[in-house]
Amino acid sequence: TRSYAITLLPGDGIGPEVISVAKNVLLLAGAIEGIEFNFHEMPVGGAALDLTGVPLPGETLSAAQQSDAVLLGAIGGYKWDNNEKHLKPETGLLQLREGLKVFANLRPATVLPQLVDASTLKKEVAEGVDLMVVRELTGGIYFGKPRGFSTNQNGEEIGLNTEVYSISEIDRIARVAFETARKRRGKLCSVDKANVLEASMLWRKRVMAIALEYPDVELTHMYVDNAAMQLVRNPKQFDTIVTNNIFGDILSDEASMITGSIGMLPSASLGEKGPGLFEPIHGSAPDIAGQDKANPLATVLSAAMLLKYGLGEADAAERIEAAVLHTLDRGFRTGDIYSDGNKLVGCKEMGEEVLKAV
Amino acid sequence: TRSYAITLLPGDGIGPEVISVAKNVLLLAGAIEGIEFNFHEMPVGGAALDLTGVPLPGETLSAAQQSDAVLLGAIGGYKWDNNEKHLKPETGLLQLREGLKVFANLRPATVLPQLVDASTLKKEVAEGVDLMVVRELTGGIYFGKPRGFSTNQNGEEIGLNTEVYSISEIDRIARVAFETARKRRGKLCSVDKANVLEASMLWRKRVMAIALEYPDVELTHMYVDNAAMQLVRNPKQFDTIVTNNIFGDILSDEASMITGSIGMLPSASLGEKGPGLFEPIHGSAPDIAGQDKANPLATVLSAAMLLKYGLGEADAAERIEAAVLHTLDRGFRTGDIYSDGNKLVGCKEMGEEVLKAV
Ligand SMILES: CC(C)[C@H](C(=O)O)[C@@H](O)C(=O)O
Ligand SMILES: CC(C)[C@H](C(=O)O)[C@@H](O)C(=O)O
């Protein structure tokens, strides 16, 4: 048996509920495939703030760094919304990404045939959508310096941030994107604002340079405003999208909503080496926390990404993915993806059905 | 008769065709309402580059500054795509906005009952959408300094831009947004990324401060990634949206595509005083330029905004808007908004039908 150390970060809101389901799914799929897991549960986000006064305690980061992979639930909640920046739950997440050096965020947006009606887009526009956003995650305006508050020449207060990318930052995310596209349908669309921003001009130049290493991948470029439109107009035109941190934040959320089922969508954040960070793309949903209403499937599918991208355990990953599809085929639905004729279940029952299917 | 000097900037691609239609509509509506126009046509964008070597000649800017209002067609085209930044058509547009100090960009996104089928969104999601994006247009990352190319501590090349807002810049756009919301349904949603960016934290703080002057307007806040989702999930929840330059670029284009008819959507850019800049939100569409296929209605409706917001001539504006709706009611459609059972017309014929209706 292979054995892996997994750091579980349940976080806030519905985080603990969905992590508990995903943990059981991992245990069972692992047992069948001859994989053993050692789970370490650590606090992050608001939970960590309440417990320790900071959103990412040093013990949590070092546990994460020393493990083979990290599975996160969700962070944030009304309670901490007005905290100062360094005491926001979100800051804990950004510190975790930085601390794990996970610069490549992979966010699939797939419309499952079972759930095509959940999209607000017309059936003929939504069906068959299967795209992947590769978002740069540890650079750009999220981390650029200088940042903060200052005064301008007129003595007026200003707030400022710096969008900055270096050649090596662009090159490494471009390579991940080309590799990803190569394993998919061989099409990569790089999204930038190179008609206005110098940071985007360098981005485009380097993506074009790296493209020479991947002659088998078809590269196109699109401005971010146009990309936001094209995702609505005809999302099927996209295979793999690569973009910077802030544009990726916006476009991956837009793409996920186009599928109509953000309760279903996982993500993987990977570095050059070291453990990856895996998390559902949905938030902590404080309004339904603790009510057994959350959809655990995004976290279960994140656990599958953890197996595939984090541990190289593709068989166990596929077993979990197949179990999720089978559970949907049998008509089980949490409230967020419910439609007439199906069986409405809670978070726990959905978890049990997936376990049966595993 | 009132008399106004109007600078016409046809620009590139389909620009000249749509400006020619809008000019005739202005002339006729003006004649009926007792308004006289003096038109001055000047080059901008790629057309100006070819003619003078710069995308915004000094004569064009000063003509624009000295007129009562400016009507722009479209700028840009493949031919100039690889130009250096200061020789891009887009740079001419940015210089024009800066030169006219038009800091407030109003972009309505309305789903007309006649065109609800043109949206890729389901009918029940699209119908009744009527929102206005108020985008800050002369600040933020578009103009912030420092910007450009440089080297970091490792001697590596970097590209960088600065997202920066001062209190007075935020306050003045917030006031325009509150005034706009007050004349609409009294709801304002301010979009930012205040969980990550200091520039957004100041933005949110000042919008909340200005809200005290508008107790009758209901203010909410939304993160930009969530806004990109909510526009797809339920665009009807929005009345007026206010946001910074780059988020406004992305979200207003997304919102326009949600209506399904970007060939229909006008925009107004206004300053503290001086002439406003009015333009369709669509681009120069070089692929159909000169083929009499363009939809002139976005430019015609921009001319109506020019009358209403630029000259205070609400009656003439309403006459034009009514003529456009009447023309649609009679079934005339350009290719971009064509659906079965309607009459397919070109740019010129559409213009003639609008003239009849005026
Ligand atoms: C919570 C927030 C800091 C985060 C981000 O902006 O990256 C989230 O929106 C995401 O996309 O994971
Ligand atoms: C052409 C470009 C510079 C411009 C912008 O980004 O502002 C355009 O996208 C717009 O929205 O008017």
Among all bound ligands, the one having the nearest atom to the CA of B248 is 2
Minimum CA distance residue for ligand 2 atom 1: B90
**Residues of B numbered 130-159 whose beta carbons fall under 8 angstroms of chain A's beta carbons: which are they?**
141-142, 144, 147-149, 152, 154, 156-159
CB A228 to CB B251 under 8 A?
Answer: yes
| Burial group, residue A54, by CB count within 10 angstroms (0-12, 13-18, 19+) | middle
Contacts of B129 in chain A (CB under 8 A): none
The single residue of B88, B193, B293, B308 carrying the catalytic annotation is B193
Q: Indicate whether residue A93 lines ligand 1 (CB < 6 A).
A: yes
For chain A, say whether B232 makes contact (Cβ under 8 Å): yes
pLDDT tens per residue, range A141-182: 999 999 999 999 999 999 999 999 999 999 999 999 999 999
Rounded Cα gap, residues B257 and A254, in angstroms? 13
For chain B, say whether A65 makes contact (Cβ under 8 Å): no
Q: How far is CA A318 from the centre of its chain?
A: 19
pLDDT surpassing 90 at residue A7: yes
Question: Does the annotation mark A236 as catalytic?
Answer: no
The single residue of B81, B117, B225, B315 carrying the catalytic annotation is B225
Query: Given this model, what pLDDT does residue B90 score?
Result: 94
Question: Does the annotation mark A85 as catalytic?
Answer: no
pLDDT tens per residue, range A232-244: 999 999 999 999 9
Closest CA in chain B for residue A152 = B166
A1 band by pLDDT with thresholds 50, 70 and 90: confident
Query: Given this model, what pLDDT does residue B296 score?
Result: 98
Q: The tokens of B17 are what?
A: 């065709």
Query: Given this model, what pLDDT does residue A81 score?
Result: 85
Cα angle for residues A323, A326, A331 (degrees, 5° grid): 130
**pLDDT over 70 percentage in chain A:** 100
- On whether the pTM is more than 0.85, the answer is yes
For chain A, say whether B201 makes contact (Cβ under 8 Å): yes
pLDDT tens per residue, range A52-96: 999 999 999 999 999 999 999 999 999 998 899 999 999 999 999
As a whole number, mean pLDDT of residues A317-338 equals 96
Sign of CA dihedral B315, B316, B321, B326: positive
Rounded Cα gap, residues A44 and A32, in angstroms? 31
As a whole number, mean pLDDT of residues B4-11 equals 98
Rounded Cα gap, residues B222 and B214, in angstroms? 19
For residue B158, CA distances in Å to A70, A166, A203 come to: 31, 4, 9
What is the edge-to-edge ordering of all strands in the sheet holding B157-166?
A148-151, A157-166, B157-166, B148-151
Minimum CA distance residue for ligand 2 atom 8: B249
- With helix as H, strand as E and coil as C, how does chain B read? CEEEEEEEEEECCCHHHHHHHHHHHHHHHHHHHCEEEEEEECCCHHHHHHHHCCCCCHHHHHHHHHCCEEEEEECCCHHHCCCCHHHCHHHHHHHHHHHHCCCEEEEEEECCHHHHHHCCECHHHHCCCEEEEEEECCCHHHCCCCCEEEECCCCCEEEEEEEEEEHHHHHHHHHHHHHHHHHCCCEEEEEECCCCCHHHHHHHHHHHHHHCCCCCCEEEEEEHHHHHHHHHHCHHHCCEEEECHHHHHHHHHHHHHHHCCHHHCEEEEECCCCCEEEEECCCCCHHHCCCCCCCCHHHHHHHHHHHHHHHCCHHHHHHHHHHHHHHHHCCEECHHHCCCCCEECCHHHHHHHHHHHC
CB A250 to CB B224 under 8 A?
Answer: yes
Atom of ligand 2 nearest to the CA of A225: 9
Question: Does the annotation mark A193 as catalytic?
Answer: yes
The single residue of A50, A117, A225, A287 carrying the catalytic annotation is A225
pLDDT tens per residue, range B168-183: 999 999 999 999 999 9
Q: Which of B142, B154, B157 sits opposite A202 (nearest CB)?
A: B157
Among all bound ligands, the one having the nearest atom to the CA of A72 is 1
Residue A3 burial (CB count, 10 A): 10
Sign of CA dihedral B348, B353, B354, B358: positive
Question: Does the annotation mark A348 as catalytic?
Answer: no
Contacts of B93 in chain A (CB under 8 A): none
The whole-chain average pLDDT of chain A stands at: 97
Query: Given this model, what pLDDT does residue B82 score?
Result: 87
DSSP state of A213: T
Question: Does the annotation mark B122 as catalytic?
Answer: no
As a whole number, mean pLDDT of residues B40-55 equals 98
pLDDT tens per residue, range B254-310: 999 999 888 999 999 999 999 999 999 999 999 999 999 999 999 999 999 999 999
Atom of ligand 1 nearest to the CA of B193: 6
Which residue, among B88, B153, B160, B231, would best test binding to A if mutated, counting the most A CBs under 10 Å from its CB?
A: B160
Q: How far is CA A272 from the centre of its chain?
A: 17
Q: Which of B56, B81, B94 to mutate to test the pocket of ligand 2 (most atoms within 8 A of CB)?
A: B94
**Residues of A numbered 96-135 whose beta carbons fall under 8 angstroms of chain B's beta carbons: which are they?**
120-122, 125
Are the CB atoms for B32 and B24 separated by under 8 Å? no
Contacts of B225 in chain A (CB under 8 A): 249-250, 252-253
Query: Given this model, what pLDDT does residue B81 score?
Result: 85
Query: Given this model, what pLDDT does residue B20 score?
Result: 98
pLDDT tens per residue, range A243-278: 999 999 999 999 999 998 889 999 999 999 999 999
For chain B, say whether A88 makes contact (Cβ under 8 Å): yes
Query: Given this model, what pLDDT does residue B205 score?
Result: 98
pLDDT tens per residue, range B135-144: 999 999 999 9
Nearest Cα to Cα of residue A139 among A105, A175, A115, A163: A163
